[in-house]
Amino acid sequence: MPVGAPSGPVVDTGAAQEFLREILGRATEGDLAAVGADCRRKSDRFAEVLGDGRAARASRADLREVLRRIFSCRRKADMILEAVGAERLAAEIDRLLRGLEPVGERIERFDAVLEAAPGIGFDLPGELLHFAHPEHYWLWTRWMWDPRIETGALRLVTTEELDLVAEGRGATYVGVGRALAFVNETGRAAGFTTFEDGPFGIDVFLACVYAVYMYTVLRMRMTQEFNRIVPGLEGLVRTLLGVRHQEA
For the segment 98-142, what is each residue's pLDDT rounded down to a tens digit? Answer: 999 999 999 999 999 988 776 778 999 999 999 999 999 999 999
Give 27's DSSP letter. S
Three-state DSSP at 154 gives helix
Measured over the CA atoms of residue 189, residue 191, residue 193 and residue 196, the dihedral's sign is positive
Q: pLDDT value at position 226?
A: 54
CA atoms within 13 A on the CB side of 185: 13
Is the confidence at residue 76, as pLDDT, over 50?
A: yes
Q: Domain boundaries in the chain?
A: 13-240
* Residue range 143-169, pLDDT digits in tens: 999 999 999 999 999 998 888 988 899
| Interior angle at CA 96, CA 113 and CA 121, nearest 5 | 45
Rounded to two decimals, the pTM is: 0.91
Cα–Cα dist 191/134, whole Å: 21
